[in-house]
Structure 1
């Protein structure tokens, strides 16, 4: 089938060889991969303020974080001086207030040009009083806002039973781990040590003590009005709530077994930082084992960024080795075939990280599901996720080592056990669909929950479809039915964890292929046609992070390697390998391949919480374009045995 290739096979082979060599060279000695996971200015700024809260200031480190914060400040008509949530994005008020506060704490003069620009932009947006809930809590901890600027969140929430409409088990894992220590802080209301007495009075349009409408709309539903009324009713009663010490102890008792060593509570920065502040507030000595563990976990996220900005450092939101290793292994397997020593090394590294001896928080709703998942980070035993588990399970199955069969089977049983009643899968919990909770005043970010989503469901269907156990057919069919219901009117699918409709559509097309649907199924043809229609003139694809708001789906002002690879993989899964759009996309990837054989991209390619928190996986342009090119070559040459069916 060499004649079916629209360009020289030697050129394609050489591009694949160079990309494979580049990726292979980045594998760690023990077989794993880990790349930077970058977010916006918020977490580096919060880390600076954490040091000032504790009076554990490292001037040299803070100076390096200052370099990073200044480098990513906006300077465009849509963002004339604030900080965006993603590359080239519009100014975000809350991120901008935190970044300004952090730079001032580092020592930047308010009269410096970059600080004046930031202040002007912040005041034009209503000032610091109009920031989101998490920012207002941060400011209250520094005495920059009164506590009535924050919603009522009594620590007694930790004591509420499962049947109560609001309780710790009805929210997502990330909310649970962030909120547990935060409830203690909101109850104790400490004031930061703040040894340099840094304040941000200049960021308020109205003096903060005179603002009376911190808790306000716009409300997304009638629930919002009802919860606002409840918040108002609770305020005068909050200090009289009984059982406060018992509730604080309940929070501590929740956190302590989940501290997770130096990988941290939940293995995510906000939960770790809140835990450090909680221990400090409760009078723990810094050398107390729990306090020291939490502090070291935070410090583990500090990352050198001098390769991009000379002398810069930032703080990652978490680390992503399981995800990076499994995805890189898929790309290597697509290129070198199963049994390749680098794929085997990655699989061998993954095996001992399967969580078999801890029934994590997921077991609260699924007590009968046997443990068998993988987490996202190096260690996070209470919080495996089905997305990582499915991707790891697929590469272990694909590589075919008999020694890994038991691990794949344990993963299969856990994924089956985590299916929600709707037929879909959430990432960390099952049936986490208490949608009214996203309307409480605290949840202005709208991300308290972990409901089923198309991309995660697709990954689970892909995994089960690849294994092809006859007894799993009912679960697969329920997953496919969920995906059919969730398809957008234009034929695409929403991408909850990657940007965005291109990511979701690729994920689902792979799943429907693995589930055995005919390529002429209407759901598949509509999705493939949607992808083809979104191809850019240069042959690539790209999508704006603003598509999580009101920007067009599947469109951007430039093509990006990750999104182009996803679109190509989706089209190939839909049986369109011979479509001219695929050849043009492959040609575009070749044309932008860098001298070292890899690809890079500045725009963000994933999301933590839509419209609130975005991510840039530095590994995505390292392995997805290679996977797409190698799959194209394999399919075009009839080497279907070397193709990953589920991913």
Structure 2
């Protein structure tokens, strides 16, 4: 393995000096440490686009459970994030999106905004210019159908009888991703019962349609990703009249099957799947089934949705979910890296705080619930962590690997059992192609992404480079000889998945810089030579996309055909990922790394943090994007602290997997 020891000084020429590095790390360490909760965990806001807060408003009007003061604050938020193009984008400063705009407009009209107000008029004109609300996506059309704004035949055929199909059936929900499964189950009940929103103020949005909904002849117009899209459109047309022939007894049995699937997974205050769409659909499902709001199931489901609201005093928005396990794992790595080079008092304080975080994390490990993943691995014992506070049916290997690496780095015997359970679970979750998906094994029946319902193209959870990299990093960091064949299969997958330009696609973070950083860390941990052509190509790609000011940036546009690894400005998260990737493969003193660290040093604010407005992650590429508010703090601290720490040793090697 290449050991880059060109310079022995604590900082390379052109970079911040040792004293400045120490000040940067101390300020950031104090800022992040100050956000740790008393019980040891960290949690930061997780923001999506206008659709989630807009859907929350519509949910209140569906139920006639309107909180006027709350909706007023949501209105402030929605108006603030309206784009210059008149509509609402899917991410900061993004292009017009018709579905987000239809929902935001409808929500604001429900709140009481005058349709002739300038911001409403601009939004309406933008929707009409883009073909009208009839061209919105499937989930938006389902929302409109629930309010009686379009006929139910404006939505794809999704019979509730799908819930009766066995795992071996191609269209079984067990062949779909966890998020699809939990969103679809209550939605199928709604589609079967076809309830109409109470809509107490009688708010309608027919003015958003170019063609009156009852005159639209073709609701399914793609996007088609292959000829199979056209085939499944015909299947949809054939199925429509046959659904009416299903015996009533079978229909009721299917509805019961959906409810029976949902109720063991209600997940208390954390909600079904711990994600907003599934939770909101469950609330509406119970109302449609005639379950009283006072029923414990309906009551808790409603409370779980409300728990996602973020109140900033003058404005409110609704999160798609919460990220405490992920945030705690990432914050822990950054704090550990920073504390390892601090004076003894700070080192001891950091150790104590991370011991508390580890105790909190161990208490959240899922050890006694065999979740949906077990449908493919019934003999595998649980041992993972979920993303949210509680989501026992749906742990994910990405969170598990990050937490496992953190616990392992602490070298505390109290963590040994948790690490071993996590190791066995991750080994058992490897897909047959050598990679790892986030929540399931071999969840890769790509044909399902071509059905009309899947216009978002994210019905599945196939293996991806970034998740695979994290699993390899964890297993390699542990260093168990029996895991080497597992690691080698994962490395073969990564080698085959590298892009032509040398980068790797980032499925869960924006985007190629994130994916490339993740993989380079894994290659280093797995002792792949730093001179391996795969590594060299990735390094050259990172150098090639560095911006003139020394930083790196990448926008969500790269998921939509935009250039890989490029953006109009440098960003703290992206710059940190790039330099962490370079340092992982022996390039600590590379001029590109030094310039990146200099950029981070220059852009730290007076609070010891970094500022970042653009979104930095993705739920579904091209459809749903995310902004982790903690990323601008975790990753720059981790990068600068690692640069400092590597500069104080004779070796430039990173000995762990993250």
User: Which interval holds the TM-score relative to the shorter structure?
Assistant: over 0.9
* Secondary structure, counterpart of 1:576 in structure 2: coil
Are the structure 2 counterparts of residues 507 and 398 from structure 1 closer, same or farther at C-alpha, using a change threshold of 3 Å? same
Cα distance, 1:5 vs. partner? 3.1
Query: What is the alpha-carbon distance in structure 1 between the residues aligned to residue 303 and residue 651 of structure 2?
Result: 47
Aligned counterpart for 1:163 among listed residues 168, 191, 204: 168
Query: What is the alpha-carbon distance in structure 2 between the residues aligned to residue 289 and residue 642 of structure 1?
Result: 55
Query: Aligned residue for 2:560?
Result: 549
Are 2:455 and 1:444 equivalent residues in the alignment?
Answer: yes
Question: Please, what TM-score do these two structures have when normalized by structure 1?
Answer: 0.98
Question: Please, what TM-score do these two structures have when normalized by structure 2?
Answer: 0.96
Query: What is the alpha-carbon distance in structure 1 between the residues aligned to residue 636 and residue 379 of structure 2?
Result: 40
Are 2:591 and 1:586 equivalent residues in the alignment?
Answer: no
Are 2:114 and 1:105 equivalent residues in the alignment?
Answer: no
Cα distance, 1:239 vs. partner? 1.7
Q: Do the aligned residues in 2 keep the contact of 1:329 with 1:346 (CA within 8 Å)? A: yes
Q: Deviations over 1:512-564 (max 9, x none)?
A: 00001110011111001100111101100000101001110000000000000
Aligned counterpart for 1:262 among listed residues 254, 266, 269: 269
Query: What is the alpha-carbon distance in structure 2 between the residues aligned to residue 639 and residue 554 of structure 1?
Result: 32
Give the gaps of 5 or more residues in structure 2: 1-7, 341-346
Are 2:15 and 1:12 equivalent residues in the alignment?
Answer: no
* Secondary structure, counterpart of 1:608 in structure 2: strand
Give the gaps of 5 or more residues in structure 1: none
Counterparts of residues 484-503 of structure 1 (less than 5 Å) = 484-503=495-514
Are 2:356 and 1:345 equivalent residues in the alignment?
Answer: yes
Aligned counterpart for 1:133 among listed residues 138, 144, 165: 138
Root-mean-square deviation (CA, aligned residues, Å) is 1.1
Q: Do the aligned residues in 2 keep the contact of 1:541 with 1:567 (CA within 8 Å)? A: yes
Query: Aligned residue for 1:558?
Result: 569
Query: Aligned residue for 2:207?
Result: 202
Query: Aligned residue for 1:534?
Result: 545
Q: Do the aligned residues in 1 keep the contact of 2:503 with 2:516 (CA within 8 Å)? A: yes
Query: What is the alpha-carbon distance in structure 2 between the residues aligned to residue 217 and residue 612 of structure 1?
Result: 14
Cα distance, 1:305 vs. partner? 3.3
Query: Aligned residue for 1:280?
Result: 287
Query: What is the alpha-carbon distance in structure 2 between the residues aligned to residue 68 and residue 217 of structure 1?
Result: 31
Q: Do the aligned residues in 1 keep the contact of 2:584 with 2:653 (CA within 8 Å)? A: no
Query: What is the alpha-carbon distance in structure 2 between the residues aligned to residue 554 and residue 404 of structure 1?
Result: 37
Query: What is the alpha-carbon distance in structure 1 between the residues aligned to residue 628 and residue 108 of structure 2?
Result: 26
Q: Do the aligned residues in 2 keep the contact of 1:158 with 1:167 (CA within 8 Å)? A: yes
* Secondary structure, counterpart of 1:271 in structure 2: helix
| Deviates further, 66-75 or 234-243 | 234-243
Query: What is the alpha-carbon distance in structure 2 between the residues aligned to residue 643 and residue 544 of structure 1?
Result: 28
Are 2:259 and 1:252 equivalent residues in the alignment?
Answer: yes
Query: Aligned residue for 2:403?
Result: 392
Counterparts of residues 16-165 of structure 1 (less than 5 Å) = 16-75=25-84, 80-165=85-170
Query: What is the alpha-carbon distance in structure 1 between the residues aligned to residue 115 and residue 23 of structure 2?
Result: 53
Cα distance, 1:63 vs. partner? 0.4
Query: What is the alpha-carbon distance in structure 2 between the residues aligned to residue 443 and residue 195 of structure 1?
Result: 32
Q: Would you say how many aligned residue pairs link Structure 1 and Structure 2? A: 639
Are 2:233 and 1:224 equivalent residues in the alignment?
Answer: no
Query: Aligned residue for 1:604?
Result: 615
Query: Aligned residue for 1:174?
Result: 179
Query: What is the alpha-carbon distance in structure 1 between the residues aligned to residue 491 and residue 398 of structure 2?
Result: 16
Q: Do the aligned residues in 2 keep the contact of 1:334 with 1:643 (CA within 8 Å)? A: no
Q: Which runs of 4+ in 1 moved over 4 A?
A: 639-644
Are the structure 2 counterparts of residues 191 and 640 from structure 1 closer, same or farther at C-alpha, using a change threshold of 3 Å? farther
Counterparts of residues 343-422 of structure 1 (less than 5 Å) = 343-422=354-433
Cα distance, 1:218 vs. partner? 3.9
* Secondary structure, counterpart of 1:256 in structure 2: helix
Bigger RCO of structures 1 and 2 (CA < 8 A, at least 6 apart): 2
Are 2:541 and 1:520 equivalent residues in the alignment?
Answer: no
* Secondary structure, counterpart of 1:84 in structure 2: coil
Q: Do the aligned residues in 2 keep the contact of 1:525 with 1:574 (CA within 8 Å)? A: no
Query: What is the alpha-carbon distance in structure 2 between the residues aligned to residue 510 and residue 345 of structure 1?
Result: 27
Query: Aligned residue for 1:330?
Result: 333
Query: Aligned residue for 2:487?
Result: 476
